Structure 1
């Protein structure tokens, strides 16, 4: 008796095809979830910076977002252009530093923030403090004797006070007899004056207006108390 093998072969082929489909589906189900797109990553960066309230390093952001640090820097740069644009509808700005970034409120809203939250008015830096800061900011790193020579008076107390406030810090020592301390500005200095980098320092003419009293520079920063600024 002849028995045809063709139907059996066809059934076997059909079963194998069904099995391949099932295995393919299982493989798809086992894949890692799709990586978030840039829009979602920007939302995550915004959320982290908002919750932090202080500078967060690009390295930490990259680890949290499971992406490369250069990618985080690129996204933060794009966000900064949007946040800091003159036409931005936001009341906050995004400051970017060498190794970190931070969300902060725009300066013009400081009076309303103080009123709403019951925060006492921050202190103003004295003219001598602004002078020392200016000399150091535009000539850093520099020594106390250099600052003294530019100002024509002793700056020891003011330099010590600015160090206590965290606006300047030692940057090593000059390789000359006596090895005097070199001073430079800090990230706190940048935050206090709303700068992302030293490249954004105002011109000498604008600075001289501040120092001459034509413009009142109020220092307002969450990281510095009123008592520290007085």
Structure 2
């Protein structure tokens, strides 16, 4: 297949998929190697962005997806009578930030940093598929662990977690971490004596 034909075939696959598709699946479908596939995908991405097309090709980790351009979000919503999604509240942004930078982490760890119960807010983030459960910490009580999702990456226009900006200042508490036994360690390296790490 010539380059232009491969490019058209890749575009057709992306359009037909609707969902994010892995680079490897494109390679297998078109019998091409990864460098060739990534060259085509990158060219398509640049083409859509440079020509200010109504669609964009978005890369999230090792997957690719065609999406409508953010510039035309209002027009798309009006066409489908979609209400503008509710903005994340300040508590939700706080919880999401902590999980993004310290994942995988427990709800108790999030509570410790914020100083308040975060169960309701985390439930909302789970419903919006911005975070997900990813196992349990191997300590007494086996608290659930949480991490961000690909929906989170797409929502904040990130290709991977490496694209997160520099860690914000949580006023000292942001330097806390989970110790080997699940205890919460403060910035000076001392474990909290009444750690709620076993809470879910």
TM-score range, shorter chain: 0.7 to 0.9
SS of the residue 1:196 aligns to: coil
Give 1:185 deviation, angstroms.
0.7
- Is the counterpart of residue 101 in structure 1 residue 59 in structure 2? no
1:206-217 map, 5 Å: none
Match of 2:9 in 1: 44
Instruction: Tell me which of 150, 155, 158 is aligned to 2:121.
Output: 158
Matches within 5 A, 1:16-55: 36-55=1-20
Please identify the structure whose Cα radius of gyration is greater.
1
Which residues in structure 2 correspond to 1:1-230 (within 5 Å)?
A: 36-84=1-49, 87-203=50-166
- Name stretches of at least 5 consecutive residues in structure 1 with no aligned partner: 1-35, 206-230
TM-score after normalising by structure 2:
0.73
In 1: Cα distance, 2:123 partner to 2:87 partner: 17
Q: Distance in 2 between matches of 1:61 and 1:203?
A: 34
Larger relative helix fraction: 1
Provide the C-alpha distance between the structure 1 equivalents of 2:139 and 2:51, rounded to a whole number of angstroms: 50
Q: TM-score, normalised by structure 1?
A: 0.65
| CA offsets 1:44-89 (integer angstroms, 9 cap, x no match) | 21222123222112232223222234532343234334444xx442
CA-based RMSD of the aligned residues comes to 2.2
Aligned length: 168
Provide the rounded CA distance (Å) in 2 between the counterparts of 1:49 and 1:101.
8
> Contact between 2:60 and 2:154, CA under 8 Å: does it hold in 1?
no
Unaligned segments of structure 2, at least 5 residues:
169-200
